[in-house]
């Protein structure tokens, strides 16, 4: 029985502790990377919405009107995910507001603030995408100006 081979309990515990330390270091970085990817996806989706609104306005809107997300989806200007009544993609919820004064504004808010994303975003007719430091992004219905806490243009 002295020739039995294998690992002792202490050796196995050392390996488990090393794996736990590596996981404790890697998991926060993974979550931060996922938030950054979600934010990049939200920005890209707002670019798509802005392009679709410009196309709709120039063609179907008779150079005067804009469309809601479901209308953009019906006319195949955005994908079926963004073109739904409750558009949610990559941890962000999207809303496009169209007013009677021919103004549109699209916003992207994190589905779970701080988990799926930290910042929120908005875009209107000029095409400048604005970042808001929290989930307070909104639009002025009359002018389409993006408002919220710490609004800054990102491009």
pLDDT at position 37: 94
**Do 72 and 78 meet the contact criterion of CB atoms below 8 Å apart?**
yes
Residues 6 or more apart in contact with residue 35 via CB below 8 angstroms: 91, 115, 116, 117, 118
Q: What is the pLDDT of residues 6-29, one digit of tens each?
A: 888 898 999 999 999 998 888 888
pLDDT of 130 over the 70 cut: yes
Closest by CA position to 149, among listed 95, 90, 109? 109
Q: pLDDT of 28-57, one tens digit each?
A: 888 889 999 999 999 999 999 999 999 999
Range from 16-20, 111-115, 150-154 that averages highest in pLDDT: 16-20
Q: Who's near 147: CB < 8 A, 6+ residues apart?
A: 137, 138, 139, 140
Q: What pairing do the DSSP bridges indicate for beta strands 130-132 and 104-110?
A: unpaired
DSSP label at 128? Answer: -
pTM here? 0.82
């Amino acid at each position: 029985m002295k020739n039995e081979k294998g690992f002792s309990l202490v050796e196995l515990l050392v390996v488990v502790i090393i794996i736990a330390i590596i996981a404790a270091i890697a998991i926060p970085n993974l979550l931060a990377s996922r938030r950054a990817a979600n934010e990049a996806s939200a920005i890209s989706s707002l670019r798509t919405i802005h392009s679709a609104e410009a196309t709709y306005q120039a063609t179907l809107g008779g150079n005067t009107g804009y469309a809601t997300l479901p209308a953009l989806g019906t006319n195949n200007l955005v994908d079926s995910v963004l073109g739904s009544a409750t558009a949610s993609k990559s941890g962000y919820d999207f809303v496009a507001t169209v007013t009677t004064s021919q103004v549109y504004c699209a916003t992207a808010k994190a589905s779970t603030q701080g988990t799926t994303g930290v910042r929120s975003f908005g875009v209107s007719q000029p095409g400048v995408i604005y970042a808001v430091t929290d989930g307070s992004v909104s639009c002025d219905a009359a002018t389409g100006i993006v408002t919220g806490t710490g609004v800054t243009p990102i491009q």
